[in-house]
Amino acid sequence: MKAFLCCFLVLTALFTGAGRMAAQGTTAFTYQGQLRDGGTNANGAYTMIFRLYDAGTNGNLVVATAITNNLNLFNGLFSVNLDFGGTAFNGAARWLDITVTNGAAAQTLWPRVQVMPSPYALFAAVAGTVTNGAIGNAQLSANAIASTNIQGGAITSTQLAFGAVPTQISPSMPWRRRTSKTARSPRRSLPMARS
* Spatial separation of the C-alpha atoms in residues 162 and 82, rounded to whole Å: 51
Q: Out of 2.60.40.1930, 3.40.50.720, 2.60.40.1180, 2.40.160.20, which CATH number does the structure's domain 5-129 have?
A: 2.60.40.1930
Q: What is the pTM of this model?
A: 0.55
Pairing of strands 107-108, 5-10: unpaired
Peptide bond into 117 cis (omega under 30): no
Amino acid at 80: V
Q: What is the pLDDT along the chain (195 residues), one digit of tens a residue?
A: 433 333 333 222 323 233 334 445 678 888 999 999 989 999 999 999 999 999 999 999 999 889 999 999 999 999 999 999 988 988 789 999 999 999 888 999 999 999 987 655 655 656 667 777 777 777 778 877 777 778 888 888 788 888 777 666 666 655 555 555 555 555 555 566 565
Residue 40: half-sphere exposure toward Cβ, Cα within 13 Å: 5
* Spatial separation of the C-alpha atoms in residues 34 and 175, rounded to whole Å: 63
For the chain, which residues make up each domain, given as ranges?
A: 5-129
